[in-house]
Amino acid sequence: MFEIIKNGGWMMLPIILCSIAAMAIIGERLWSLQRKRIIPTELVPYIWQLHRDNKLDDAAIRRIKLSSPLGTILAAGLANRKHGREIMKSSIEEVGRQVAHDLEHYLNALGSLAAVTPLLGLLGTVDGIIRVFSDIAVGGMGDPGVLSAGISEALICTASGLTVAIPSLFFHRYFERLVDDHVVRMEVESLRLLDIMQGNREDI
């Protein structure tokens, strides 16, 4: 492996750095975007139980806010529950936009890595080809080992760039869809809470 990296030339260094960054982002997002961490299934029933027991005070709302991204959204509505449905809904929507933005954390960086690494590989390929032609201009076609070294560098850089870019692009698209799904589900849970708190429904 080290020999392959060495043969790939100087452009392998930024490609390796991009691969490390991409793996770190993918690992962090896989952990942070778990559904149970974003949308706890028991949160709305728990809030309704607190409300029925007259225990939905400021301290309870703070705990709900810190519990999860969904809790942050619902806490914004609960803090304004005495002001009617429209105020609650407006507060939830305002905080919801911020939470949705936070869920997209690092996704732009991952998308940039997916776009940049093939270009780095291409640059390494061009550099290798330039070296091949320079060697030909100096020494002619007599030494195939010199030519093969330049061609090898070009191919290794191309392959390395694509090896980083393909999974980065896959996970970027996957995380974007996952965030969209989470946002839709949080909207459903928020409307469910609004109906419950405003007395439009009794079931949870």
Question: 5-50 pLDDT, tens per residue?
Answer: 666 667 888 999 999 999 999 999 999 999 999 999 899 889 988 8
Provide the whole-model pTM. Answer: 0.83
Q: Please give the average per-residue pLDDT across 122-143, as a whole number.
A: 74
Closest CA to 75 of 106, 97, 103, 47: 47
Which position has the higher pLDDT, 6 or 63? 63
pLDDT one-digit tens code per residue, 145-194: 656 666 777 788 888 999 999 999 999 999 999 999 999 999 999 988 88
- Rounded Cα distance between 83 and 80, Å, is 6
Integer Cα distance of 10 and 99 in angstroms: 41
